[in-house]
Amino acid sequence: MLILEFLIKRIAQGILIVFITSLIIFTLLRVVPGDPVRLIVGGMAPPDVVEKVATKMGLRDPIIVQYGRYMRGLLQGDLGQSYLRPRSGMIATGGQYIDPTKSDMAPVIDQILERLPFTLQLGGMALLFAMLISFPIGIAGGLHQNGWQNALAFATQSLFVSIPNFWLAIVLILFLSVKLKLLPALGYQGFSYVLLPAIVLAVEIAPFIIRTLTTSLGEVMQSTFIDEARVRGLSRRRIVYSHALRNAAVPLVNLLGIQLSTLIGGVLVIEYIFDYPGLGNLTVVSVVGRDFPVIQGIAITTSAVFVFINIIVDLVAYLVDPRVEI
Amino acid sequence: MTVATIIETEPEREPVRIQSVNRRILLAAWRMPSFRIGLFILTALLLVSAIYPEISSVSATKMVVKDKFLPPLFLGEKWVWEHPLGTDQLGRDMLMRSLIGLRYSLLVGVVTVVLIFIIGCGLGLFAGFKGRWWDIIIMRITDAQLSIPMIILAITILGVSRPTVPTIIIVLALSGWPLYARVARSAAVAERGKEYVRGLRVLGAGDWRILLLFAAPNILPPIAFVAVLDVARMMILEAILGFLGLGIQPPTPSFGSIIADSRKYLINAWWIATIPGVFLAVALTSINLVGSALEKARNRIYGGL
Amino acid sequence: MINRRDLMLAGLAGATAYGFGRVNPDFLINSAFAAEGKTLRFLGAEALTGNWDPTTHTNLGQLIVEGFVFGYLTRAPMRPQKPDELVFELAESLQPIDTYTMEVKLRKGIKFHDGSPFTAADVKATYEYGCQPDRPAQWYPGLVTVDVIDDLTCRINTKAQGYPATLYYYLSSFLPIMSAKDIANKAQLSARMNGTGPYKYVEQKGDTTVLTANPDFFLGAPKIPGLEYRFVGDTTTRTLSLLNGEADIIERLEQEQVETIAKDARFNIHKAVSVENKYLFFRCSKKPFDDPRLRLAACHSIDRKQVLEVLGVSGTYSKAHISPVKFGYTEVAEYPEYDPAKAQKLLAEAGFPKGKGLPELTYYTSVGFYPKTKEYAELITGMLQEQGFKVNLQTLEVAAWGNLLYDKPGGGEGNMIDCGWCTGSPEPDLVLRTHFHSSSKRICGIVDKEIDAVLDKERNATTLEERKKVLQTETLPTIARKAPALALFTSVFIHAYSKKLDGLYIYPNGMQDMTKATLA
């Protein structure tokens, strides 16, 4: 029952947050200078065509009206259509105006759904790699608070957090892809293309996991119930894995929720550098191209995912440690 | 035996100095070697980036095309003393460009964090202290803003308007304040229940007075210590924006844009990409060392209370 | 640095040919690569427009793709030994009948990709549609009518306009022939490409244009079964893709990439001085560049030698508003060279001594398409700033730049914009008239009676010799004096391709090994 109550409350709040987010982004886009209609009609159209198209597309109505229209569409599952990409998916430039009010333009939702799996795959692999790197270091560091393991953990974490991700990406492309030809670098033509971006992303996430593990494990190991377990004669391995780790896991799970924002940011840059066809890449291209519907669609999707993951995170934290307040 | 000798007298002792919590944190941090190393490197970098460009005659922006792609000292065949770290694709000196880029990075980083601190903690304290409607509204806004990843916000605003240093700082600050607001708010809520606050209320002090004169000095310093780490975070974010073309515009050098331009020359002139990255990484590492030491010290002292 | 004279005189023994960037169709039929049956993957530097009607754009990437799909009445190989040569493709002959009429005899048995036969009606529809003044691609010297005599004969008629029909002699190699049926149904025309060329348009997948061999091509089906043109807007990505084996041929290489690829034994490099000139276009219809003195001051502030140094192998020196390869080129004496003293004098004359009082000027350039644009843009900005101009440089990615390139009423975006202009024919009007005549003024927006007069004069010249004289002594010098744009240099096209493409001759515009044919 408690869980159900929690879920209902959080989902309701979540919807409110997504709503506010969409309003913020929507207004921001309309208020900031730069007219997307010019981009839609192409470089060569005369200004009366621009005005005609703008009015036809409803871009000259007051913001509230536009927002209402957008929301109505949203409730029906329609995120609108891209301003820039026709259904074929290509980027168009120059040339004469194509009428975007025909449904020849790519639906935003299709674009997002097409790219979401790639980004999820990247995120998943990155998380996996990050855990592979940080768990051994973090646990060792946490268990030996004053030993060299802790110093190593501290050094690794400081180093990783100080390396700019885009720079690392470039350096790794140079060495691993061009000089040593171990891994492919750009685009996506098979699973191996996800590895290099995932490594760079993992280096970005790892420091936070290491830090949380070392501190929380260190704290937990000090607590009395661990001492008790030792008195009771449990093996060290059993103590660490069955008891300590579970307790230390809570801040880790919480960390995921907070770090999601960083993860999304990192994904954007990494996808851009590696020309990886995910949501991040789409975001950069759409913002630079002022493709409003796509930007809005992505913002809403991201905040929905964000809210969703936070709910899951809190739920899991509760399941792992029922003392957590939800 | 004289009676006098039985009476124990306290040996002369130094008067005990009651150190403030903050002082203790700083001292504890100072004792850690990592803190000292980080601080040393950071200060060195600060001094070099502030002073060297002023006294050197080499320019960071003057383009001498025939000098392009000179490698750093001792590497390759064409290095010169005048350009110890080589030159870039238009013949500009890499050392000078890196130092000026460092200046801007540090400037943006520090000013942004100060701004975040003031806005975030200000709103957070206010929400926590006042409670009820203020609390709810401000917290929901932070929730909403936290759910928009900073980078989307930044590239949306900067991608459609022209990026200048103040705009970049404001955008970065906008992305960072929610976290501080939350932390400040929960600290304020905790403070609110404390005895001395109730005592002050009884004495008739108004909310603002309590907040600013008494509660804030207790709440803010621990947050401030950790804010050092965020300087590093903001510097990276600024570099990322520069990399995407949304940061400080050329001809002013900034790490992000230098590294972005260098992608083309990775194979032939690797130093254009590597050197700014190294500068940035070293600066960030030193800031992180200082910041983590402060954080550890804080946790230790507070944990002990 | 290469001196233009050396370039011309050496006859380019060996590596260079003049050009335009289209792959020689002959290779497509004969090369060894074809034998493997693999699709040729070409990474292009410019994005396409999405509108397949050839009259709606001046987009170079799309012109390259059209070169595969459409047929032309003639093709101009533009070889150094015979720069004026015309090879006949869809036409068998072009005969001037009188000053204003030229008779075209067409080849028999050619079909469009949709199956309909190619006849004179298609030529008529194409030319009469394309010459309309509302067409964004202003290639035509003016309106023209085509009279159909029979299915395989027609006459180009320019009597009503008063300019010689012989202008179409070279122009015919540049105008893709569309089907009359498509022109009657514009939506169909824009929706897909339908031509008579060696490759058929299949579809557009994301940023890749997919073409497949046309089995009914009149020269025989190409041995390479398919072709993909993929837009990749980043130089490094194109290079890495080639090195990784993800592409077979790439374009628009820069010095450093040439060095890297040259070291790799798997690839060949092909260099060619092209018909393309890179220009710094001024927006002449709004302040402050509506004043020719300011434009000249800016031109005199720029040291083109340094710009060429930045370009390295990707550029070569030229001293007129057209490439050395075009008909009528000459080194114009009055061409504005680097002269800071003159720049200051002109600034003072225009009312802005040392640049004081000048508003901030926005300079747009693209990245990822033309070589080194960002680098020399920064250089030019620095040089202009030295003379007192306040310049704000904005580098844009290709699609965004393409969208604000063209002139609009009110002057268009920004004050200066960097652009290249490449038209695969020796015909100079494809550059001069398109840009500098007030009826067209695609980018710079200039309206100047003097320029109009000299352009009309050379167009109306009745013989080639007279035309050349007018071009060299009047038209080009006038344009140089008014400086609606500054031609920075002539591009050298550099392609790199896998050695597996043995026997490939990228004839930027020609068919070198067409010993058989002339398609006759």
Give me chain B's average pLDDT, please: 80
Pairing of strands C40-44, C249-250: parallel
Return the half-sphere exposure (C-beta side, CA atoms, 13 A cut-off) of residue A277.
Answer: 16
Q: Are A186 and C58 a contacting pair at CB < 8 A? A: no
Sign of the CA dihedral running C325, C330, C333, C335? negative
Tokens of A251: 């801040």
Chain A residues inside the 8 Å CB shell of B153: 28
| Closest CB to B149 among A16, A158, A302 | A302
Mean pLDDT of A231-258: 74
Q: How confident is the model at residue C507 (pLDDT cuts 50, 70, 90)?
A: very low
Q: Are B269 and C256 a contacting pair at CB < 8 A? A: yes
Of residues B103, B242, B118, the one with CA closest to residue B176: B118
3-class DSSP state of C46: coil
Identity of the residue numbered C297: A
C254 part of contact set with chain A, CB < 8 Å:
no
Q: How confident is the model at residue A35 (pLDDT cuts 50, 70, 90)?
A: low
Residues 6+ apart with CB under 8 A from C485: C279, C280, C281, C282, C321, C435, C436, C443, C444
**E strand spans, C167-317:** 199-205, 208-213, 226-231, 249-250, 267-282, 315-316
**pLDDT tens digits for B53-84?**
888 877 777 778 777 888 888 777 777 787 88
Q: Are B143 and A13 a contacting pair at CB < 8 A? A: yes
Tokens of C343: 């720049």
Burial of A132 (0-12, 13-18, 19+ CB in 10 A): exposed
Q: Are C204 and A90 a contacting pair at CB < 8 A? A: yes
Which residues, numbered 126 to 165 in chain C, qualify as contacts with chain A under a Cβ-Cβ cut-off of 8 Å?
A: 136
Residue of B61, B87, B89, B246 to mutate, testing the C interface (most C Cβ within 10 Å of its Cβ): B89
Mean pLDDT of C446-456: 89
Enumerate neighbours of A (3 or more CB pairs within 8 A): B, C
- Check residue C23 and give its pLDDT: 46
Of the ranges A61-75, B109-123, C189-203, which one carries the lowest mean pLDDT score?
A61-75
A102 pLDDT more than 50:
no
A93 part of contact set with chain C, CB < 8 Å:
yes
Q: Are A28 and B157 a contacting pair at CB < 8 A? A: yes
Sign of the CA dihedral running A280, A281, A282, A283? positive
Residues 6+ apart with CB under 8 A from C13: none
CA distances for B16 relative to B13, B29, B305, C218, angstroms: 8, 21, 18, 104
pTM for this prediction: 0.78
Of the ranges A117-131, A270-284, A286-300, C106-120, which one carries the lowest mean pLDDT score?
A286-300
Percent of chain C with pLDDT strictly greater than 90:
23
Identity of the residue numbered C177: I
Residues 6+ apart with CB under 8 A from A22: A70, A71, A74, A296, A299, A300, A303
- In C, minimum Cα distance to B162 occurs at C394
Cα gap A169→A158, rounded to integer Å: 18
Closest-CA distance of chain B to residue C397, Å: 10
- Check residue C279 and give its pLDDT: 93
Of residues C444, C365, C371, the one with CA closest to residue C398: C365
DSSP codes of every residue in C103-132: EEEEPSS-B-TTSPBP-HHHHHHHHHHHT-
**pLDDT tens digits for C306-348?**
999 888 888 888 888 988 878 888 888 889 999 999 999 999 9
CA B91 from chain center: how many Å? 32
| Closest CB to B251 among C235, C310, C378 | C378
Of residues C135, C411, C134, C409, the one with CA closest to residue A47: C409
First to last CA, chain C: 42
3-class DSSP state of C226: strand
Residues 6+ apart with CB under 8 A from C332: C319, C320, C476, C477, C480
DSSP codes of every residue in A178-243: IIS--S--SS-SSGGGGHHHHHHHHHHHHHHHHHHHHHHHHHHHHSHHHHHHHHHT--HHHIIIII
C125 pLDDT more than 90:
yes
A226 pLDDT more than 80:
no
A38 part of contact set with chain C, CB < 8 Å:
yes
Partners of C395 in the beta sheet?
C365
| Closest CB to C47 among A88, A93, A177 | A93
Chain C residues inside the 8 Å CB shell of B269: 256
Backbone angles phi, psi at A239, to 5 degrees: -60, -50
- In C, minimum Cα distance to B270 occurs at C256
Enumerate neighbours of B (3 or more CB pairs within 8 A): A, C
Chain B residues inside the 8 Å CB shell of C310: 65, 68, 89-90
Percent of chain C with pLDDT strictly greater than 70:
88
- Check residue A100 and give its pLDDT: 46
- Check residue C518 and give its pLDDT: 20
Q: Are A89 and C206 a contacting pair at CB < 8 A? A: yes
Q: Are B61 and C256 a contacting pair at CB < 8 A? A: no
C493 pLDDT more than 60:
yes
C235 part of contact set with chain B, CB < 8 Å:
yes
Backbone angles phi, psi at C269, to 5 degrees: -115, 140
Query: In the block, which residue shows the tokens 């390139």?
Result: C405
Query: In the block, which residue shows the tokens 């801040």?
Result: A251
- Check residue C153 and give its pLDDT: 93
- In C, minimum Cα distance to A104 occurs at C191
Helices A245-274, A292-320: axis angle to 10 degrees equals 160
| Closest CB to B90 among C259, C375, C392 | C375
Q: Are A95 and C234 a contacting pair at CB < 8 A? A: no
Q: Are C310 and B267 a contacting pair at CB < 8 A? A: no
| Closest CB to A178 among C240, C397, C403 | C240
Backbone angles phi, psi at A201, to 5 degrees: -65, -40
**CA A229, B298, A148: angle at the middle one, nearest 5?**
55
Return the half-sphere exposure (C-beta side, CA atoms, 13 A cut-off) of residue B176.
Answer: 28
Cα gap C192→C52, rounded to integer Å: 6
Residue of B88, B90, B162 to mutate, testing the C interface (most C Cβ within 10 Å of its Cβ): B90
Quick check: A250 and A309 in contact, CB under 8 A?
no
Of the ranges A60-64, A208-212, C369-373, which one carries the lowest mean pLDDT score?
A60-64
**pLDDT tens digits for B12-47?**
655 555 567 777 888 888 888 888 888 899 899 888
A44 pLDDT more than 70:
no
Tally of residues, chain B? 305
Chain C residues inside the 8 Å CB shell of B62: 382
C510 pLDDT more than 60:
no
Quick check: C160 and C145 in contact, CB under 8 A?
yes
